[in-house]
Structure 1
Amino acid sequence: MSSQHTKYTRRHFIEKTALTSIGLTLLLSCNSENKKGNSSNKTTKTGSLNLIPDPKGYLDLPEGFQYKIISQKGNKMSDGFLVPGRPDGMGTFLDESGKTIIIRNHENSPIPLENSPFGNDNKLFTDTIKDKLYDAGNGAIVGLGGTTTLVYDEQTGNVVDEFMSLAGTYRNCAGGITPWGSWITCEEDVTMANGNEIQKNHGYVFEVPMNVKEMITPVPIKDMGRFNHEAVAVDPKSGCIYLTEDRPDGLLYRFIPNEKENLQKGGKLEVLAITAEKSLDTRNWESPKILKNKPMEVYWIPIDNVDPKEDDLRFRGFELGAARFARGEGIWMGENELYFACTNGGPNHFGQVFRYKLSKAEGTSEEANTPATLELYAESEDKTVLHMCDNLNITPWGDLFLCEDNGELNHIRGIDKQGNHYTFACNKSSTSELTGLTFSPTGKTLFVNVQESGHTLAITGPWEKFI
């Protein structure tokens, strides 16, 4: 089996799981019956199912589905370090033996130390590993963000290896998989070096190969911009990389590499603009400027000085004509299209999802002849249906799965191909957001984190029967 990333297309998923149709059409929810302990799975409307209350009060799932905590903050890893806290974005790959490789972000700042892979007092941080960290902070303010790599056996449901694969960065929030078998991890932090205990500028993206066996030496890809990064998605055809910015007035960026699959060779950074209106505000906070399911032609504007001292890319881009978005977060590439979430977009600030359909000549001088389009795919008007969507993923059958991040009761929500909303999971254990949801390359396992608990879960069940 190839060590390259295996893309789980719909056909691949059908072959693996004998799935013939999945089309949830109505809302599944942690409803009042669940709270009363009713475990009935009877349909109340055609296609509607109840979530089964978890006896442990942790995570409610549909009938037949189960979860397992496969990694927990503070446990010792294979390399002797501790599982860091605040797990966030994740990507999966298939290794040569058929095991699943998971690369997992950790959204940690240098403080508090309770989330440190080096222990509550950083006692596992030594001079021998200092050069492996991006920013060791002279040993005083050690960067505690980064990534861990897990090797997971789907046959046994166990992690067989787990180690730090990148360290010394700040607040690695999300990122994205590449078609050539690596994970791009993003810093959601723009702290500048101060010449003393903060040794490096932050606000960059880094690349972690899927097949590393230990910590790599982090090298920022500076041509991809210094800003409050969230996530990335890669077009396998053109090699273009799309980047979201978690700011209430953020932009959508595109990076065109000089050399496909070799991001350290640099490239060109651009910002997305709407053809019909310069500097369009897509947030719909004051008035409904953007209507659902109305494709708008777009173009891309080159932007210079992409490694600025000031966090001003979004301001300069907006002045050039770029569209403005409300906290761009999760982004995921499908087939000739991608989706991204805007966490507090919409008139009630409950969240938006946009769909970008690629040009047939994406990233080339010919794309103006067949321009790409952007449309508002979903906008929540009811927080019981969708409330502050964050990480998202395109499921093997083509629906969207989204994690909520609202400080209340958080769910994994779904949106089917007809635009109908449903609920797949309900976090009952805490008000922590769920993060990093991603399927294994086989499509048999859904991985997700409970961030503040520091748990990584593997969810399995009858995907082929989930109708």
Structure 2
Amino acid sequence: MSDGVATPIAHDGMAAFPGTRRHTVRLIRNHEVRTTPGSPVGRVHVEGSERYDELGVAGTTTLEVDLRDGRVVRHFVSLNGTIVNCAGGRMLHQRGWLTCEATTAGPGQGWTRKHGYVFEVPLNGPEPGRPAPSQPLTAMGRFSHEAVAVDPRTGYVYETEDESGRPDGFYRFRPRDPRDLAAGGVLEMLKIRGIDGYDCREGQTMGARLPVEWVTIDDPDPDLEGGDPANADGYLEGYGQVWQYVPGRRDGGTLVLVYESPGRRELDSPDNLTFTPRGGIVLCEDDAGSADADPHPPAPGLVNVNRLIGLDPPGRTYAIRGPWHRGPLQAGHGMVIACTM
């Protein structure tokens, strides 16, 4: 890259922002590197930079792309010293990218620090050879993070969890200062109102509105060690759901099941998503694999194929495939960026 570092492996979630130069867009991209502590294989690493974990192998890179011809003008490490950077979301007012660690590993697994946090990557500031300091936002919770979304009206940050083998939660961080997440705040977890231990994976009705409330998490930064717990809770493996959270003005709001896949052919293991200008949804599959067959005619000989799947407003799915449009990139609403790891 422009900073002399080899392009890291394991591309994952990223977002497009207005570029710092005319006719450019700036992409901030995660690298979900899972190699051993300090491994040089495909890592995100700038010697002498301010890193959270000296043995960290993951982080983000920033690319500036010319909209006129798709040419990469420059690209460089913008954050390092983290591990397993999976997804994330835009900061308030598009000031940068919130990158998330999808793990709760720590010293017990050979790292020098605890992991499982959200980190800020400013849009402006990092330059080739000068990544942003990697400082964890511990008040936002320590768990296996997936994506985040910031409510532009309140500054609240909504967070999803991706821990294999057990039920996951949906979280809300209410910052003291929406423009300074490091100043702390309150972390909460969504709960179906009046029901303890409610599990949304089975027996749900699409379109039904579930009343919810928020429960405060007293210790957002627990001392725990990572590992994949066994999936022994008695629930059948499903193919994925899409839920909508509707905030309430006077209460916790409601949770609505928008779509539930009936089988692998329609949709399997949706991960991140974005909306189209016409109200549809584009979902990126992140299939962990299943026991049943995975037929996919456009990719003969491949197994556990991941696709981009469209979901239209009436609730119908369709696969998005070539011939691919080769025109200039367009930053803003309706743009989806899919990355292979």
TMscore range, shorter length: 0.7 to 0.9
Residue of structure 2 equivalent to 1:87: 11
User: Given the superposition, is the C-alpha separation of residues 115 and 379 from structure 1 closer, same or farther in structure 2, using an over 3 Å criterion?
Assistant: same
Residue of structure 1 equivalent to 2:242: 353
Residue of structure 1 equivalent to 2:208: 294
Q: Secondary structure at the match of 1:114?
A: coil
Residue of structure 2 equivalent to 1:384: 265
Alignment of 1:116-131 (within 5 A): 116-117=43-44, 126=47, 129=48, 131=49
User: Given the superposition, is the C-alpha separation of residues 262 and 280 from structure 1 closer, same or farther in structure 2, using an over 3 Å criterion?
Assistant: same
User: Given the superposition, is the C-alpha separation of residues 235 and 357 from structure 1 closer, same or farther in structure 2, using an over 3 Å criterion?
Assistant: same
Residue of structure 2 equivalent to 1:37: none
**Contact 1:257–1:267 under 8 Å retained in 2:** yes
CA distance in 2, matches of 1:153, 1:243: 32
Q: Secondary structure at the match of 1:450?
A: coil
Instruction: Spell out, residue by residue over 1:246-281, the C-alpha distance to the aligned partner (whole angstroms, 9 max, x if none).
Output: 123111110000001210110000000111523211
CA distance in 2, matches of 1:311, 1:376: 32
Residue of structure 2 equivalent to 1:50: none
Residue of structure 2 equivalent to 1:449: 339
Residue of structure 1 equivalent to 2:278: 397
Residue of structure 2 equivalent to 1:279: 197
CA distance in 2, matches of 1:273, 1:239: 21
Instruction: Spell out, residue by residue over 1:417-436, the C-alpha distance to the aligned partner (whole angstroms, 9 max, x if none).
Output: 12111111379xxxxxxxxx
CA distance in 2, matches of 1:301, 1:117: 36
Match for residue 172 of structure 2 among 246, 250, 254: 254
Q: Secondary structure at the match of 1:448?
A: coil
**Contact 1:227–1:311 under 8 Å retained in 2:** no
Residue of structure 2 equivalent to 1:215: 131
CA distance in 2, matches of 1:150, 1:253: 30
Residue of structure 2 equivalent to 1:419: 315
Q: Which amino acid aligns with 1:220?
A: P
Residue of structure 2 equivalent to 1:198: 111
Kindly state the Cα deviation for residue 310 of structure 1 after the two structures are TM-superposed: 2.0
**Contact 1:410–1:426 under 8 Å retained in 2:** no
Are 1:305 and 2:194 matched, yes or no? no
Instruction: Spell out, residue by residue over 1:215-257, the C-alpha distance to the aligned partner (whole angstroms, 9 max, x if none).
Output: 0111110000111111111100011111111123111110000
Q: Secondary structure at the match of 2:99?
A: strand
**Contact 1:166–1:208 under 8 Å retained in 2:** yes
**Contact 2:106–2:225 under 8 Å retained in 1:** no
Residue of structure 1 equivalent to 2:294: none
CA distance in 1, matches of 2:148, 2:262: 27
User: Given the superposition, is the C-alpha separation of residues 354 and 281 from structure 1 closer, same or farther in structure 2, using an over 3 Å criterion?
Assistant: same
What is the TM-score with the length of structure 1 in the denominator? 0.62
Kindly state the Cα deviation for residue 446 of structure 1 after the two structures are TM-superposed: 4.2
% same residue: 37
Match for residue 103 of structure 1 among 28, 36, 42: 28
**Contact 1:110–1:143 under 8 Å retained in 2:** no
Q: Which has the larger radius of gyration?
A: 1
**Contact 2:23–2:68 under 8 Å retained in 1:** no
CA distance in 2, matches of 1:347, 1:226: 28
CA distance in 1, matches of 2:276, 2:34: 31
User: Given the superposition, is the C-alpha separation of residues 103 and 301 from structure 1 closer, same or farther in structure 2, using an over 3 Å criterion?
Assistant: same
What is the TM-score with the length of structure 2 in the denominator? 0.83
Instruction: Spell out, residue by residue over 1:87-123, the C-alpha distance to the aligned partner (whole angstroms, 9 max, x if none).
Output: 10101111353421111000012436432245xxxxx
**Contact 1:348–1:381 under 8 Å retained in 2:** no
Kindly state the Cα deviation for residue 303 of structure 1 after the two structures are TM-superposed: 1.1
Instruction: Spell out, residue by residue over 1:52-110, the C-alpha distance to the aligned partner (whole angstroms, 9 max, x if none).
Output: xxxxxxxxxxxxxxxxxxxxxxxxx0111011100101011113534211110000124
User: Given the superposition, is the C-alpha separation of residues 415 and 444 from structure 1 closer, same or farther in structure 2, using an over 3 Å criterion?
Assistant: closer
CA distance in 1, matches of 2:34, 2:147: 18
User: Given the superposition, is the C-alpha separation of residues 382 and 90 from structure 1 closer, same or farther in structure 2, using an over 3 Å criterion?
Assistant: same
Alignment of 1:66-85 (within 5 A): 77-85=1-9
Residue of structure 1 equivalent to 2:73: 160
Runs (4+) off by over 3 Å: 442-446
Residue of structure 1 equivalent to 2:150: 234
Residue of structure 1 equivalent to 2:326: none
**Contact 1:93–1:440 under 8 Å retained in 2:** no
Q: Which amino acid aligns with 2:18?
A: L
User: Given the superposition, is the C-alpha separation of residues 184 and 233 from structure 1 closer, same or farther in structure 2, using an over 3 Å criterion?
Assistant: same
CA distance in 2, matches of 1:149, 1:398: 29
CA distance in 2, matches of 1:403, 1:448: 7
**Contact 2:274–2:335 under 8 Å retained in 1:** no
Q: Secondary structure at the match of 1:186?
A: strand
**Contact 2:92–2:178 under 8 Å retained in 1:** no
Kindly state the Cα deviation for residue 347 of structure 1 after the two structures are TM-superposed: 5.2
User: Given the superposition, is the C-alpha separation of residues 277 and 445 from structure 1 closer, same or farther in structure 2, using an over 3 Å criterion?
Assistant: closer
User: Given the superposition, is the C-alpha separation of residues 117 and 258 from structure 1 closer, same or farther in structure 2, using an over 3 Å criterion?
Assistant: closer
Hey, which of these two has a bigger chunk of helix by percent? Answer: 1
**Contact 1:182–1:208 under 8 Å retained in 2:** yes
CA distance in 1, matches of 2:322, 2:340: 11
The number of residues matched between the two structures is: 305
**Contact 1:99–1:151 under 8 Å retained in 2:** yes
CA distance in 1, matches of 2:35, 2:52: 12
Match for residue 186 of structure 2 among 264, 268, 282: 268
CA distance in 1, matches of 2:221, 2:240: 30
